[in-house]
Structure 1
Amino acid sequence: MAFYQFTQTQKIPATIDAVWDFISNPANLKDITPSYMGFKVTSNSGSNKMYAGMIITYIVKPVFGIPMKWMTEISHVKDKEYFVDEQRMGPYKLWHHQHKITVIDGGVLMTDIVTYIPPFGIIGALANALFIKNQLKKIFEFRTKAVEEKFGVFKP
């Protein structure tokens, strides 16, 4: 069984408090997801901060506009350092997404590590080669631009 990993880093010219407050608030997920994904949070935890054990449900339309239910659990949180979301129900056989932030000169380095296994064995591997990995890259490119609009472009 093949698994895949996608890693992205982004330097952000902001304080760790500002970046953490933004990325750890589930209400901001829609702002960093391309509109063509039809992303909508359907759960209401009553919290604007992620916490270990939090369940977040969504509807997303990743392929041909077909709505799909997705449920993730925030499995680990270390305030102003990282959190991990793991799929509990959804399109992947495995989805494990680490969100890390660290202070650097001039701002914050945000690192995302997504480890995933598409469904359907060899068909999923083919789908990954044909479009899943490229779609994931485009989603994170959109997110990079959305974060730059929020916090500005990092200047070394």
Structure 2
Amino acid sequence: MKIYTLHAKQNLPITLEEAWSLLSDPKNLKTITPDYMGFEILSGADRPMYPGQIIQYIVTPVLGIKTKWVTEITHVQDHAYFVDEQRFGPYALWHHKHFIKEIPGGVEMEDIVDYKVPMGILGQLVHPILVKPKLNEIFEYRKKKLIELYGEFKAPTS
């Protein structure tokens, strides 16, 4: 069983409160997801984030094929991190840790996604040519969108 890891970091010139407000509200996911993904929340985003929260989405990751994705928020530490885990969807395993911390001049956001593709060896063969590039593209889109919304981070000079 091969488990892959995606690791992304981004600094933004916003407060910890602004970052938490953005990341902890599932409704904001649509804003930072490429339009072609057809991201639509079906249910579960009507309350502030809490452990045990189930959120249902529709996504269209490849070839216009709509896929239902169900995640559970399993851990939340206010203004520090949360974890979402796929309960039903396109991956055999999806465990996504979101960390935020205050740094001089803004915040550092860090994502660590551990995931397993379905279909055994066939999935592993497709991973480097389809899955990994698609995930990298989605996280790159998010990075650019957040810069567009909040500006480029510039480390303070001493």
**Partners of 1:45 and 1:56 in 2: CA distance:** 6
Q: TM-score, with normalisation over the residues of structure 2?
A: 0.96
Q: Which aligned pairs between 1:77-156 and structure 2 lie closer than 5 A?
A: 77-156=76-155
Q: Which aligned pairs between 1:25-36 and structure 2 lie closer than 5 A?
A: 25-36=25-36
Verify the 8 A CA contact 2:44 2:53 in the aligned structure 1.
no
Deviations 1:109-145 (A, max 9, x none): 0000000000011011111111101100000011011
Verify the 8 A CA contact 2:84 2:97 in the aligned structure 1.
yes
Partner SS, residue 43 of structure 2: coil
The code of the aligned residue for 2:37 comes to: M
The answer to whether residue 53 in structure 2 is matched with residue 54 in structure 1 is yes
**Partners of 1:8 and 1:38 in 2: CA distance:** 23
Deviation at 1:55, TM superposition (A): 0.5
Partner SS, residue 154 of structure 1: coil
Question: After the TM superposition, which segments of 4 or more aligned residues of structure 1 sit over 2 Å from their partners?
Answer: none
**Partners of 1:5 and 1:81 in 2: CA distance:** 21
Partner SS, residue 148 of structure 1: helix
Deviations 1:40-81 (A, max 9, x none): 11114421x211111000000111010000000000000000
The code of the aligned residue for 2:92 comes to: K
**Partners of 1:50 and 1:146 in 2: CA distance:** 22
* Structural RMSD (CA): 0.8
Q: How many residues align?
A: 155
Q: TM-score, with normalisation over the residues of structure 1?
A: 0.97
- Could you tell me the percent identity over the aligned residues? 52
Note the residue ranges of structure 1 that are not aligned, 5 or more in a row: none
Verify the 8 A CA contact 2:84 2:95 in the aligned structure 1.
yes
Partner SS, residue 147 of structure 2: helix
